[in-house]
Amino acid sequence: MPPRSTPTARQQRLGNELRKLREQSGMSAQQAAALLGVDRTRIPNIESGRFGISAERVRTLACNYGCPDTGLVDLLAAMAQERDRGWWEEHRGLLLPGLLDIAELEYHAVELHTAVTTHIPGLLQTVDHARAVFDTADPPLPGPDLAARVALRLSRQAVLDRESPPLYEAVIHEAALRMQFGGPKVARTQLEFILEQSERDTITVRVIPFTAGGFPGAGQSFTYVGAAVPQLDTVQLDSSHGSMLLDADMQLRRYRGLLERLRGLALPESASRDFITAIARDL
């Protein structure tokens, strides 16, 4: 199979996990290549995501690496078998790859936990709110680019509507709820949409009020993406320079701890709904 010029984040993650297993086993890339009967350059290319690998070979490597975690191996093998082009691929070449990686992460997630301070989470945005947010981009986005970003953001929300959606938790700071992107009418409709979504069994929305004071991570927004096995969890960070994905064990532990601290500051679900209703009423 030909090499990939731009592997997706998920393809890179599969390769990275295989590299971790190999290094933990003490086996060299040359030894792993000999095990598969391939050229020694093939292993680094597999581990970078530039070359694919079959599920059978994933299992062969994992067995010889001495990996005892069958759940992890099964999931890695399943990742290797993925051949279908996700719906987000229709946007490839039109939008930055990092935006498509977010959609792919959400699609494969078992749980999603978002913490935001100045923006409404993308999965909870209305079309008018999303358009108003992208209208503030600096430099301004050309019309087709803006339309493509709005379309991608709204398409991502389908993950919450499928038959077996991931559990979704949004911890939203009061500042984000009071930002009037698009004006009072758009802002009110946006808050009403959040309230509507928060009534669903699979969606939890909790608010951190201004009165909670300072808190760790106040200057950033992030999403903790839970996989079927915790070793494959990912943290996605938002910034003005684009999205960043973190998956090192220490980084995952840090953001799990940060989520717990934020939950401790947030209002209960019912009180959060009352809080959002009061803000909407004032608009």
Say which CATH number the domain at 235 has.
3.30.870
Contact 205, 269 (CB under 8 A): yes
Give the SS3 label for residue 172: strand
Same-domain check for residues 165 and 208: yes
Same-domain check for residues 116 and 39: no
Same-domain check for residues 151 and 229: yes
Same-domain check for residues 144 and 171: yes
Same-domain check for residues 75 and 91: no
Same-domain check for residues 147 and 267: yes
Q: Work out the burial of residue 257: count CB atoms within 10 Å of its CB; fewer than 13 is exposed, 13-18 middle, 19 or more buried.
A: exposed
Same-domain check for residues 179 and 145: yes
For the domain that residue 30 is a member of, what is the CATH number?
1.10.260.40
Helices vs strands, H then E, count in the chain: 12, 6
Same-domain check for residues 188 and 160: yes
> How sure is the predictor about 237, in pLDDT bands with cuts at 50, 70 and 90?
very high
Is 3 inside a domain boundary? no
What residue type is 189 in one-letter code? T
Same-domain check for residues 188 and 147: yes
Q: Which tens digit of pLDDT belongs to each residue from 76-134?
A: 999 999 977 899 999 998 999 999 999 999 999 999 999 999 999 999 999 999 999 99
Is 149 inside a domain boundary? yes
pLDDT of residue 84: 74
Average pLDDT over residues 196-216: 95
Residue closest to 115 by CA, chosen among 35, 222, 203, 10: 222
Give the SS3 label for residue 201: coil
What share of the chain has pLDDT > 90, as a percent?
89
Average pLDDT over residues 190-215: 96
> How sure is the predictor about 220, in pLDDT bands with cuts at 50, 70 and 90?
confident
Is 166 inside a domain boundary? yes
Is 4 inside a domain boundary? no
Same-domain check for residues 126 and 44: no
Pick the last residue of a domain from 48, 81, 114.
81
Same-domain check for residues 48 and 101: no
Domain containing residue 20: 9-81
Is 1 inside a domain boundary? no
Pick the last residue of a domain from 22, 53, 81.
81
Rounded Cα distance, 226 and 232, in Å: 8
Same-domain check for residues 116 and 163: yes
Residue 158 predicted with pLDDT over 90: yes
Mean pLDDT rounded to a whole number for the chain: 94
Is 116 inside a domain boundary? yes
Pick the last residue of a domain from 81, 107, 133.
81
Contact 252, 223 (CB under 8 A): no
Q: How many domains does the chain have?
A: 2
